[in-house]
Amino acid sequence: LGYQREIDMLNLAHELDMLTIGYAFNRKDTEELMHQAAPDIFIFHAGITRGGSTGYQGGLSLQETAERSQTHFEIAKRICPEIILLAHGAALANPEDAEYLIDNTGCHG
């Protein structure tokens, strides 16, 4: 369907006074999403989630996940200072990983 449809949907949701949540996978998406839709909540997807039902063990380390996520959080905050920041994927596989991310980035959850 394309990323522009997500941006259009978020803008419509804003017009309807709904809470909006935007999801991005890379820098281009993050910048487009923030400039064109300015969601209330921003989620950065850092990559395929480690573990889970597939048992995937590759991908980024927890430190790399935090660093990559923080880069996107800074873009989002620069454009929308009041935004709520969330993270998903990559090395974030359990509550301890989430705690590390919260302690080492601007992430709220």
Convert the pLDDT of each residue in 7-30 to its tens digit: 999 999 999 999 999 999 999 999
CA separation, residue 37 to residues 23, 87, 96 (Å): 11, 18, 32
With a cut of 80, say whether residue 99 has pLDDT above it.
yes
The pTM score is 0.90
CA distance 66 to 52: 19
Q: If you write DSSP's letter for every residue of 40-87 in order, what string do you get?
A: SEEEEE-SSPSBGGGTB--S--HHHHHHHHHHHHHHHHHH-TT-EEEE
Domain map (residue ranges) of the chain: 3-104
**Architecture in CATH of 3-104:** Alpha-Beta Barrel (3.20)
The pLDDT score that the predictor gives to residue 16 is: 98
Residue 44's pLDDT is what?
96
33-87 per-position pLDDT tens digit: 999 999 999 999 998 887 767 767 777 899 999 999 999 999 999 999 999 999 9
